[in-house]
Amino acid sequence: MHCDPRFSRVREVFERHFTEGEELGAAFAVYLDGELVVDLWDGVADRHTGRRWERDTPAFAYSCTKAITATVLLRLVERGMVDVTAPVADAWPEFGARGKGAITLEQVLTHQCGLPVLEEPVPVEEFEDQAAIAARLAGQAPLWEPGSAHGYHALTYGFLLGEVIRRVTGTSVGELVAAEIAGPLGLELWVGAPDEVIARTARLKAGDRPRFLTATEAPTGAGPKSTAATADDRPEDALAAMARAALDPQSLMNRALGNPGMHLLKGGANHPVILRAGWPAAGMVSTARGLAGFYRALIAGELLGPGTLRDALRTRVKGPDRVLFLDSAFGLGFMRPSLTFLMPSETAFGHSGLGGSIGLGDAERGLAVGYVMNKMANAVSGNLRGIRLVEAVYKSL
C-alpha cells in the first residue's frame, strides 16, 4: 500500500472504517497531477472463504460504468461518427417507433428520453444479449415527453447507448473499452470481465433495502454549497415520496433498478453471467486504481480533447429527478454535484454506483479518485464511507 504523507488523513479515515466495522473489503486510490498519491486496500474479498483483498482485487462497480460508456460515445463524436444533437434513430432506425423519432443522443445521455424502465420482464436467457434487450426498448413508448423532464435511467441508459455504439462501430462497449481505453492505458478495468478476472473479483455482500443518501447524512462540507440540504431545509416531500417508492415494487424507482433482475441469479451481481455480460450502465469490474486511472487519463486529455470534456461536463439538467425524487444533475453522461452526487467541490464530476462505489475527476485540482468495496451500503447513490474519503482528499490539498 502507498499513501503520500500529504494525504495521511485519507489513510486514517480508510483505516477507521475497518476498525469500526464499516468495511468488509475495500480499496481507494487517488491521482494528483498524474501522480498516484494514494493506493490503499484492505479487508476480505470473499467473506465465505476468507480470501484477502489484494492489490489487484477488482470489484463490481455498478453505475460507475456510465461515465466510461459516455466516454466511449464521446470518442465517436470526436471522430465524426455520431452527433449528440442528432436523433438516435439516425443510427438505429427501429428506435424511432412509437413516437421516439426525435429523441436525441443528448437526451439519452442526460436521462431525458423517458425510457427509464423496461416494461416487460427480461428473461435470464437474454442477460448477455444486449441487442435483444435494446430491441425491447425500441418497441416502447416514452413515459414522458422527451426533453421535458429527467429521470435516472439506471439500466436502460446503457442498453440504449450500447446499441447506438454497436450500430455505428459493429463493436460492443466492452470491446471498445478493452481495445481503446483499458488496454492501451494498462487499466485494471473491464466492462464485461473475462473468466480469470471473475475468479479474483471481490464478492459483494448485500446491504439493506436501497434508499438514497441525503445531504443531511453527509460529512460536514460535503455537497455543493448551492444545493446541499440542511436539517432545516431538507426536501421532506421528496424524501417521503422516495421512502414510499422504495416499498412499492411497481414504483418507477424499483422498476428502473430491478429489470433486468440481477436478483434472479444466485448471488445476484456476484454471478458470472452478470460479471461477464458487460451491461454498459452497470457492468464494470475494476480496481480502485483502475477507476482512478481512467479519470486521470480523462482530465489529462488522453481520452477526450479538452473542449469535448468541457462540453460534456456542462450541466444540461438539474433539479427534481422523476426516478430518484431528490435533485440530480447531469452533463453528457457524467454526474455533477447535487443531492444525489454529494461532492465537496462544484468542479468535481464523475459517477457513483449502487451501494457506494465512486469514480471522480476534478480537472481544476488535478484530482482523479476511485473507490470500490464489497460491503454494500443501503444507498442507491452515495455511501458515507466514500464521501468521507473524498472529503479527506479535498481537505488534504
387 within 8 A of 219, measured Cβ to Cβ: yes
DSSP element (H, E) containing 243: helix 236-247
Residue (of 396, 384, 321, 393) closest to 352 by Cα position: 384
Tell me the residue ranges of DSSP E strands in 205-348: 284-286, 317-320, 327-330
- Give the separation between CA 296 and CA 368, rounded to whole angstroms: 5
Residues 108/250/275/302 CA torsion (nearest 10 deg): 20
63 a catalytic residue: yes
Helix (H, G, I), strand (E, B) or coil at 84: coil
**Rg of the chain taking only CA atoms, in angstroms:** 19
What type of residue is 184? P
Of 63, 328, 345, 357, catalytic: 63
- Give the separation between CA 384 and CA 13, rounded to whole angstroms: 11
Q: How many residues does the chain have?
A: 397
Could you give the residue numbers annotated as active site?
A: 63
